[in-house]
Amino acid sequence: MTQGLFTILDNKPLTATVYRMVLVGDTEAITRPGQFVNIKIEGQYLRRPISVCDWEAGVLTLIYKVVGQGTEKMAAMTAGQQLDLLVGLGNGYDTSKSGDKPLLLGGGVGVPPMYGLCKRLLDEGKKVTVVLGFNTRDEVFYENHFRRLGAEVIVATADGSYGEKGFVTDVMKHLTYSYFYTCGPMPMFRAIEATAVTSGQYSFEERMGCGFGACMGCSCKTKYGNKRICRDGPVLEREEIVW
């Protein structure tokens, strides 16, 4: 983990409520897809944890949803502003267990960390399938970004207004895969747990205090005792989770 100042290069909406922020700064502490940063926002007591979408040569891409005062302030920020970030937090995904045909499942704002993971797996020569789940057509983002990487991409919407009608698990049950990776809301995780036929890794979305394991505010029960989502996670393996 490192702390440093990052300068905003760009901050624009992808949908009515989802924004992409591109910053420049020291990204050396980010070593795995699935890690996150913790952002200090003026006037807010707690930092805001945001998953890393992509990072390369000192350029950091974050995608976030406007859901409260902190992210509202982020959405109003413009190029040239500086932010204080804790960088390289969390354990990230382990790609060594993926097999040759991994499946990536992203739900809503759980989609962004799938992008960096997809890049890593494709660089390793894997055949990657990505299923992106949203409520409706107006919420869909980054579909073409994944396609340009070279992955097979399937979009599912709960209301059937775009792509496949239903949830990511409705698509998942018809696919063949060697391993799965996912990030999204807990109801999606429970549905995946009931559907998956292989091992896999879940990245948990959790409210956090410190973001680096000091406060114990984001503990999760596992078969090996309580683990801190911010430090021991956010990625946990399927076999260790107590649902």
pLDDT 10s digits, 37-95? 999 999 998 889 999 999 998 999 999 999 999 999 999 999 999 999 999 998 999 99
**Cα separation of 99 and 18, whole Å?**
32
Continuous segment of H or E residues that includes residue 34: none
Residue 52 exposed, middle or buried by CB count within 10 Å (0-12, 13-18, 19+): buried
Q: What pLDDT band is residue 242 in, cutting at 50, 70 and 90?
A: confident
- On average, the pLDDT of the chain sits at 91
> In this prediction, what percent of the chain has a pLDDT beyond 90?
81
- Strand ranges of the sheet holding 235-237, from the earlier edge strand across to the other edge: 164-165, 152-157, 129-134, 102-107, 179-183, 200-203, 235-237
pLDDT value at 14 more than 60: yes
Nearest to residue 153, comparing CAs of 132, 172, 168, 133?
A: 132
**Cα separation of 66 and 16, whole Å?**
9
Q: Average pLDDT in the 10-26 region?
A: 98
Task: Retrieve residue 162's tokens.
Answer: 């775009």
Q: What pLDDT band is residue 200 in, cutting at 50, 70 and 90?
A: very high
- Encode 112-147: b = buried (16+ Cβ within 10 Å), e = exposed: bbbbbbbbbbbeeebebbbbbbbeeeebbbbbebbe
**Cα separation of 81 and 140, whole Å?**
28
pLDDT 10s digits, 224-234? 566 666 666 58
What is the pTM for the complete model shown? 0.92
CB atoms within 10 A of CB 224: 9
The amino acid sitting at 139 is E
- Res 221: pLDDT: 63
The amino acid sitting at 37 is V
Q: N- to C-terminal Cα distance for the chain? A: 29
pLDDT 10s digits, 79-128? 999 999 999 998 999 999 999 999 999 999 999 999 999 999 999 999 99
